[in-house]
Amino acid sequence: MKTDTQEKKKLSRKDFLKLAGVATVAGGAGSLLGLKKGLAREEQPTQAVDVDLSKLPQDIVQKNELLRMQEDLLRALKKPLKERKWAMVLDLRKCIGCSACTIGCKAENVLPPGVVYRPVMDEEIGVFPKVTRRFTPRPCMQCENPPCTPVCPVKATHKREDGVVVVDYERCIGCRYCITACPYNARTADFGEEYTEGTPKVEEYESRPSFEYKKKWPRKHGVSPIGNARKCHFCIHRIEEGLLPACVTTCIGGATYFGDNNDTDSLVSELISRPNITTLKSELGTKPKVYYIWG
Amino acid sequence: MRLLYKIFWGICFAVGAMAVGERLVIGKKLLNLGSYVTWGLWVSLYIYLVGLSSGAYIFTSLASVFKLERFAKLRRISLLTSLVTLLAALVAIVLDLGHWERFWYVLIYPTPSSMMSWMVWLYSLYLLLLVTQVFFVFSAKAEKARFLFLIGFPLAIAIPVCGGSLFGVIGARPYWHSAIFPVLFFFEALLSGVALITFLGIVFGLAKDDKEEIFIILPKILLGLLAANIVLEASVMAVPLWGQIAYHIDAVKLVLFGEFWWVFWIAHIGLGCLIPLLLLLSKTNIIKAAVASGLIAITFMSVRLNIVIPALAIPELKGLESAFIEKRLMFSYVPSLHEWQVSLFIVALAVGLFYAGLKLLPSLERRKA
């Protein structure tokens, strides 16, 4: 004779199987739809989610660094271009060397082999057993006095009014003189390779377009940015859509800060004004707008 | 023997032309360059050929401006050498561009702050001048050609000086960033250029015998230029080494003791300096002068390789070499077979153009006879 509990168990197992079946079908359809949507999305630049930060409690926004930076960004975008001064702060105490920012940047900008905008340098310091490691992400320093721009023979690279150093892919002749002139090795060359080259099929995700500089750049043989010098541009195509750079949102340690250094209320301005801030190779007088917190 | 030469250079041209075809169709994937060592064999070949061209021209224009008639015999062969080496150099640099089809942008977007922009403007003028001058000299309009030498002389000096400045102004590379670079490039161009025209002059039979005056003077000029170059190069190497600041000596150490030490010690010092020095210091004859000048001219490519590559093979930030490992993010470089093939094409092209010049401009042959 079956007890009530056994009956309930049986029923619940049945229900579970039914539910699981429905869920699998629904989930499968959902993922198919999602995948389709995702693939379609790859043909479009990343869009900002329509969230009104002013409706959130201010103490939450102020306590959450990402939300605060988002708010700083939206405030900066209301100002004319020349009144913004984008800056990045990297807190090396928080960087764990996971390279999520490097990969996030690679995915965002569809970077091919040999092109990297933001590698994370890994140094071992000390002698065993007293050793430690220091991770230093190295985006473009967006120098106030960039040595890379005056050397360009066709004026294809220049500093924008907001301080971001950009490359005009349609004008760049690919001489790579700018690459030699950067004291931070922050410029790279696109030789037109693919990661899946040499395998039976070059995967489609490698030929999806990049949306750098707010333009669509399909990846085609002989077409820019293939053959060009390429560099970090603080994701200006995202910034101007109200999104933080990809390296900021993918940093799992919360070590990357971004904002307007012309705004005294911004988080980056607050961090830059602290005494423990420094820049790379400050003796060169390039005046980087990427700052580091060492300790 | 002539037929053998023709077959040899014909094969070189054909093998190289296939690689040029690949370069134009496939792009730059076949190069071993990367984002860090971003200039290599082709840029080195380019500055080598430009050095030969301007060096030969400076010497010839100097002789012409100051009416040193004893060197007039070399004028035609020298002008032809300057023209073909310049054309070959331009082919090398255009193929090195990521977007070679946009090379003309440098003419329509002039940038006075860029030494490369200046270089292109100077080369354009120099090319026009050379073509005109070759026409005048070979059609025996010597007076008009002499007037052009007056313009060409300062222009030809400006070319290696500008070439040296192209590297010298790059403050990010301590190995290049030196006030001596424009001066060094001038003397290097002169040495390699004079060596090449001396060699060609002897090979093409412009010296009737061992006592021919210019072939007694030329080895002495070469000796002086070689000594000047040794002093200048020693300064470039020794000054940073004495300073003992790692940032300044890393590239120098790479040249002297790196993986390619033999390019400096064997190709350059041994074959390009010591042997020619011994030959030129001893009682010279035509054969010794030909061997010495030929060795200097040919091995000078090693000097160019050692200028371009080592400066780029040093990471500008510690830890960058292992930050993100990919084939094109390495601080080492060995030219690919494709790069050698294209270089072979460029050299064969220069030889072919020189040969065509001899045939199409028969005055040289007549003069020789």
Q: Which residues of chain B have pLDDT under 50?
A: 365-369
| Amino acid of residue A42 | E
Mean pLDDT by 10 residues, chain A (295 residues): 43 50 49 49 68 76 89 95 97 95 96 96 92 94 97 97 97 97 97 92 88 93 94 96 95 96 96 95 96 90
Give the residue among B40, B130, B131 at the shortest CA–CA distance from B92.
B40
> Is the ipTM here above 0.85?
yes
The answer to whether A138 touches A119, Cβ cutoff 8 Å, is yes
Q: What angle do CA B201, B207, B209 make, to 5 degrees?
A: 155
* DSSP structure class, residue A200: S
The answer to whether B358 touches A160, Cβ cutoff 8 Å, is no
Q: Give a yes or no: residue B325 inside a domain.
A: yes
Per-position DSSP letters for B254-321, written without gaps between them? HHHHSTTHHIIIIIIIIIIIIHHHHHHHS---HHHHHHHHHHHHHHHHHHHHHHHHHHHTS-SSTTGG
CATH no. of A80-293: 3.30.70.20
Give the residue among B125, B111, B31, B55 at the shortest CA–CA distance from A181.
B111
> Which residue in B has a C-alpha nearest to residue A114's C-alpha?
B328
* Of A116, A147, A176, Cβ closest to residue B172: A147
- Distance from the A236 Cα atom to the nearest Cα atom in chain B, whole angstroms: 23
Q: Give a yes or no: residue B282 inside a domain.
A: yes
Q: In this complex, do B320 and A119 lie within 8 Å of one another by their Cβ atoms?
A: yes
Q: In this complex, do B111 and A152 lie within 8 Å of one another by their Cβ atoms?
A: yes
The tokens describing A217, both together, are 């750049």
Q: What is the pLDDT of residue A41?
A: 52
d(CA A43, CA A40): 5
Q: Give a yes or no: residue B54 inside a domain.
A: yes
Q: In this complex, do B320 and A121 lie within 8 Å of one another by their Cβ atoms?
A: yes
The answer to whether A141 touches A154, Cβ cutoff 8 Å, is no
Q: What CATH number has the domain bearing residue B269? A: 1.20.1630.10
Q: Give a yes or no: residue B60 inside a domain.
A: yes
Helix, strand, or coil here: B352? helix
Which chain A residues are Cβ-neighbours of B97 within 8 angstroms? 173-175, 227
Domain extent, residue B88, equals 9-368
d(CA A97, CA A162): 29
* DSSP structure class, residue B146: H
**Domain residues of chain A, as ranges?**
80-293
- Which residue, chain included where needed, has tokens 């026009």? B128
Q: In this complex, do B35 and A115 lie within 8 Å of one another by their Cβ atoms?
A: yes
Q: Using one digit for the tens of pLDDT, what is the confidence trace for B224-268? A: 999 999 999 999 999 999 988 888 899 999 999 999 999 999 999
The tokens describing A140, both together, are 């473009």
Domain count of chain B?
Answer: 1
